[in-house]
Amino acid sequence: MWGLLPGSSFGRHVQTRPRTSTIHAHAGEAMPSEQSWREVASAKRAALAERIPAEYRVPQARLPPESQLNVTPWPKESGWLSPTELSITDSSASDILKQVASRTWTSEEVARAFCKRAAAAQHLVLYHGHGVLPYFG
């Protein structure tokens, strides 16, 4: 494999060896070879879920059925986001600036709306149908 020599100009190439990836365990964690990848992934998803503040966790009753593969209409159909939160997160940056400047929305409302919608998106993409739904109930 060929690559640029660090700090060199274009055209001066050196032959390099391909990098190999190494998996490192953190203190107290078992190496992935001792657990199945599914167990490791489930534990990581659960740990991530616990870091999401309770106010941004999607209630179980608001989730689409696991059989629903297309969840793009969920923000508008679920009723979890308020009309103001939907309006904020569907607005362009220039419209948001105008609304904040006119004091229609506060910067805190804007930040909270985007945090809530981002947490919902993360949940629907990473967790929906993966057996960790109880962490969001």
Tokens 């657990």 correspond to 35
Q: Give the DSSP letter string of 73-134.
A: THHHHSS-S-HHHHHHHTS-HHHHHHHHHTTSS-HHHHHHHHHHHHHHHHIIIIITTTT-GG
CA–CA separation, 9 vs 39, rounded Å? 47
pLDDT above 70 as % of the chain: 66
Q: Could you report the per-residue pLDDT of 1-59, keeping only the tens digit for each?
A: 444 444 444 444 445 555 544 455 556 665 555 568 888 888 888 888 788 888 888 88
Sorted by where each begins, the domain ranges of the chain are 33-136
Tell me the whole-structure pTM to 2 decimals.
0.62
pLDDT single digits (tens) 75-128: 999 999 999 999 999 999 999 999 999 999 999 999 999 999 999 988 887 766
Look at residue 72 and tell me whether its pLDDT is greater than 90: no
